[in-house]
């Protein structure tokens, strides 16, 4: 583990480290954003019932201490303003009913429901580095991957038909690719190319390895589907280099940005990414199962024919369509002739859930308050580096019980560090962390993922986690060795 330290050394979990962490938190210009979030108390996360009263953030009588939440890679915390925006939405529905679709209310910060998707696109575009017309807030991640493939994956079994993806892709991506191939009557064993590292047992893939596989299949690969950040290892791929390399060889490139969006800086337009999809419940804090998003590069969404043309279907690339993707001017004309909106919005199917979008946009307001992804990433780099250093500073005995799987090069990771535990320790570690009010997530058989999110985590969270983790390792080892 080499690279410039965030801080002069202070033994992990020592008073010294905590003092320094507090100082870093005091100096943090984004530190106040923590107050924008509902951080559960230790009492709340231990409780098996809803709190009395309507507020999710009731003061616990026995403990008002916040839990240590390092799990934004799985589910982001709830912004406080989500409740306000949702009750404004509910109030609009209650008092305006169908008029909510088109009637602006003078004192409401919310757009009319007909415009809600456009407002969301404006807010997400800077987060993914796209033109507003290149993004659509719609559906969910896996559905969007299917929709993108339905639009852009047009295989020819005798020429280009293969899809390249990782061998350890998130199962939903694997299933989506496998079933797309079957849908086209192709044999997955022949048309699916699985990227597997020759040198890393954790399947940390170098850019060279990926480009090597692209070269091997440059004649017959149609599509490359990769995650911006790998969910298990936390590896951040070089999206720009890989995209350029694949495209120069005639391969269409789609990125799954589930773990990258709201986590690292993205420049999808500038990097020439063909298309991408993401969910909004992780670093975007939209809430569980919240609406997803899609990017389609402007080069891929042209509509070349006028709406009055006799054969409008020839003026755009084919896709699975619905009325919400139809040009707004003619959408309500109720004609059975599909003419898509130019841009990503032309890939929408249904009118979107306003409930979902309202929830997502409440969180995107906090991103605006943060001043954009540049500032967040800058803090995130320091925070994760600090976590790495505190782990490195643990006692030799504890360090012998885990290893960091995520690349140590900060350019190759986002907020998350994945820690591989010694065999038989996972259950005991998770139980002890939970007992101490520390929330991280687990991936069986023996990995925990720890993700300090710069919007609401601070340096003291990291020190608290490392202290608890040391204790959890000792307890888990004792329990394991007692059997
Ligand atoms: C990398 C990745 N791909 C796909 C998915 C599936 O997302 P969804 O259930 O929103 O389709 C997830 C969910 O966590 C994920 O992490």
Domain identity same for 275 and 406? no
> 281 pLDDT exceeds 80?
yes
What residues pair up with 421 in beta bridges, in sequence order? 402
The confidence band for 61, taking pLDDT boundaries of 50, 70 and 90, is very low
Cβ atoms within 10 A of the Cβ of 207, count?
Answer: 13
Residue 206 lies in a domain: yes
CA 260 to ligand 1 centroid distance, Å: 12
* Least confident residue range of 58-62, 356-360, 402-406: 58-62
Residue 303: per-residue pLDDT: 86
Domain identity same for 217 and 153? yes
Residue 82 lies in a domain: no
CA 404 → CA 237, 275, 301, 365, distances in Å?
17, 31, 41, 34
What average pLDDT score do residues 436-462 get?
A: 97
What residues pair up with 255 in beta bridges, in sequence order? 226, 276
Q: Tens of pLDDT along 69-115?
A: 999 999 999 999 999 999 999 999 999 999 999 999 999 999 999 99
Residue 44 lies in a domain: yes
Q: Tens of pLDDT along 182-197?
A: 999 999 999 999 999 9
Percentage of residues of the chain with pLDDT beyond 70: 93
Domain identity same for 336 and 435? no
Residue 240 lies in a domain: yes
172 is in an annotated binding site: yes
Residue 90 lies in a domain: no
Q: Judge if the beta carbon of residue 324 lies within 6 A of ligand 1.
A: no
- Which of 231, 356, 442 most suits a substitution to test ligand 1, by most atoms within 8 Å of the C-beta? 231
Index of the ligand 1 atom closest to the CA of residue 169: 1
> 251 pLDDT exceeds 90?
yes
Q: Judge if the beta carbon of residue 416 lies within 6 A of ligand 1.
A: no
Domain identity same for 278 and 152? yes
CA 442 to ligand 1 centroid distance, Å: 16
Domain identity same for 176 and 50? no
- Which of 258, 262, 418 most suits a substitution to test ligand 1, by most atoms within 8 Å of the C-beta? 258
CA–CA dist 423, 431 (Å, integer): 15
232 is in an annotated binding site: no
202 is in an annotated binding site: no
Residue 309: per-residue pLDDT: 65
Domain identity same for 329 and 419? no
Residue 255 lies in a domain: yes
Q: Judge if the beta carbon of residue 398 lies within 6 A of ligand 1.
A: no
173 is in an annotated binding site: yes
Residue 74: per-residue pLDDT: 98
Residue 54: per-residue pLDDT: 52
Q: Tens of pLDDT along 288-328?
A: 999 999 999 999 998 877 666 666 667 888 899 999 999 98
Domain identity same for 68 and 186? no
For the chain, what's the residue count? 483
Residue 307: per-residue pLDDT: 65
Residue with the nearest Cα to atom 10 of ligand 1? 141
Index of the ligand 1 atom closest to the CA of residue 279: 10
Q: Judge if the beta carbon of residue 231 lies within 6 A of ligand 1.
A: yes
Question: Among 294, 322, 357, where does a domain finish?
Answer: 357
Q: What is the CATH number of the domain that holds 423?
A: 3.90.1150.10
CA–CA dist 173, 179 (Å, integer): 10
CA 374 to ligand 1 centroid distance, Å: 25
Domain identity same for 393 and 333? no
171 is in an annotated binding site: yes
Geometric angle at alpha carbon 18, from 412 and 425, rounded to 5°: 60
CA–CA dist 462, 457 (Å, integer): 8
Range of the domain at 380: 15-28+40-76+372-482
CA 142 to ligand 1 centroid distance, Å: 6
What average pLDDT score do residues 172-188 get?
A: 98
Instruction: Write the burial class of residue 318 (CB in 10 Å: 0-12 exposed, 13-18 middle, 19+ buried).
Output: exposed
CA 345 to ligand 1 centroid distance, Å: 21
Question: Among 332, 357, 382, where does a domain finish?
Answer: 357
Q: Judge if the beta carbon of residue 258 lies within 6 A of ligand 1.
A: yes
Domain identity same for 350 and 417? no
Residue with the nearest Cα to atom 8 of ligand 1? 141
CA 277 to ligand 1 centroid distance, Å: 10
**Pairing verdict, β 441-443 and 447-450:** antiparallel
Considering its fold, how many domains does the chain have in total?
Answer: 2
Mean pLDDT over the full length of the chain: 93
Percentage of residues of the chain with pLDDT beyond 90: 87
Q: Judge if the beta carbon of residue 16 lies within 6 A of ligand 1.
A: no
Residue 14: per-residue pLDDT: 61
Residue 334: per-residue pLDDT: 85
* Least confident residue range of 50-54, 180-184, 383-387: 50-54
Q: Tens of pLDDT along 395-430?
A: 999 999 999 999 999 999 999 999 999 999 999 999
Is there a contact between 40 and 65 (Cβ–Cβ < 8 Å)? no
Q: Tens of pLDDT along 9-48?
A: 445 556 799 999 999 999 999 999 999 999 999 999 999 9
Residue 63: per-residue pLDDT: 67
Domain identity same for 211 and 322? yes
Q: What is the CATH number of the domain that holds 163?
A: 3.40.640.10
> 2 pLDDT exceeds 70?
no
Question: Among 324, 357, 390, where does a domain finish?
Answer: 357
Geometric angle at alpha carbon 249, from 248 and 252, rounded to 5°: 85
Running DSSP on this structure, what letter comes out for residue 254?
E
Residue 308: per-residue pLDDT: 65
- Which of 172, 179, 233, 292 most suits a substitution to test ligand 1, by most atoms within 8 Å of the C-beta? 172
Residue 9 lies in a domain: no
Domain identity same for 239 and 353? yes
Q: Judge if the beta carbon of residue 279 lies within 6 A of ligand 1.
A: yes
Q: Judge if the beta carbon of residue 388 lies within 6 A of ligand 1.
A: no
CA–CA dist 367, 372 (Å, integer): 6
Index of the ligand 1 atom closest to the CA of residue 140: 10
Is there a contact between 260 and 289 (Cβ–Cβ < 8 Å)? no
Residue 477 lies in a domain: yes
Q: Judge if the beta carbon of residue 286 lies within 6 A of ligand 1.
A: no
Domain identity same for 173 and 280? yes
């Amino acid at each position: 583990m080499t690279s410039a330290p965030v801080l002069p050394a202070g033994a992990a979990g020592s008073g010294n480290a905590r003092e320094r962490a507090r100082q870093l938190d005091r100096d943090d210009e984004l530190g106040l954003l923590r107050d924008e979030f509902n951080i559960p108390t230790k009492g709340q996360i231990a409780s098996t019932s809803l709190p009395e009263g309507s507020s999710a953030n009731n003061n616990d009588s026995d403990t008002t201490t916040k839990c240590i939440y390092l799990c934004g890679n799985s589910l982001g915390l709830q912004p406080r303003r989500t409740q306000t925006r949702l009750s404004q939405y509910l109030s609009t529905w209650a008092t305006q009913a169908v008029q909510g679709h088109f009637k602006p209310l003078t004192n409401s910060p919310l757009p009319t429901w007909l415009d809600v998707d456009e407002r969301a696109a404006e807010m997400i575009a800077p987060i993914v580095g796209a033109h507003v017309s290149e993004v659509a807030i719609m559906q969910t991640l896996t559905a969007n991957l299917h929709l993108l493939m339905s639009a852009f994956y047009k295989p020819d079994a005798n020429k280009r038909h293969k899809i390249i993806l990782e061998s350890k892709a998130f199962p939903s991506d694997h299933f989506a690719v496998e079933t797309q191939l079957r849908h086209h009557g192709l044999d997955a064993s022949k048309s699916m190319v699985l990227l597997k590292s020759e040198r890393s047992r954790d399947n940390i893939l170098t850019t060279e390895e990926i480009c090597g596989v692209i070269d091997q299949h440059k004649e017959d690969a149609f599509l490359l589907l990769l995650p911006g950040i790998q969910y298990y290892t936390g590896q951040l791929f070089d999206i720009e280099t890989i995209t350029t390399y694949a495209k120069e060889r005639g391969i269409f490139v789609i990125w799954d940005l589930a773990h990258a969006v709201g986590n690292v800086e993205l420049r999808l337009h500038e990097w020439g990414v063909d298309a991408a999809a993401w969910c909004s419940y992780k670093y975007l804090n939209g809430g569980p199962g919240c609406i997803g998003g899609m990017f389609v590069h402007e080069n891929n969404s042209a509509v070349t024919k006028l709406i009055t043309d006799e054969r409008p279907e020839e003026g755009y690339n084919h896709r699975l369509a619905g009325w919400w993707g139809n040009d707004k001017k003619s959408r309500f004309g109720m004609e059975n002739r599909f003419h898509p909106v130019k841009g990503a919005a032309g890939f929408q199917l249904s009118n979107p859930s306003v409930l979902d979008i309202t929830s997502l946009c409440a969180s995107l307001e906090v991103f605006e308050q943060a001043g954009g992804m540049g500032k967040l990433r800058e803090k995130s780099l320091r925070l994760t580096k600090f976590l790495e250093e505190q782990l490195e500073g643990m006692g030799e005995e504890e360090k012998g019980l885990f290893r960091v799987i995520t690349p140590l090069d900060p350019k190759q990771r986002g907020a998350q560090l994945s820690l591989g535990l010694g065999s038989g320790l996972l259950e005991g570690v998770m139980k002890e962390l939970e007992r101490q009010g520390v929330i991280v997530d687990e991936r069986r058989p023996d990995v925990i993922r720890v993700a300090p999110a710069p919007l609401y985590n601070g340096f003291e969270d990291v020190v608290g986690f490392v202290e608890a983790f040391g204790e959890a390792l000792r307890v888990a080892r004792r329990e394991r060795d007692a059997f």
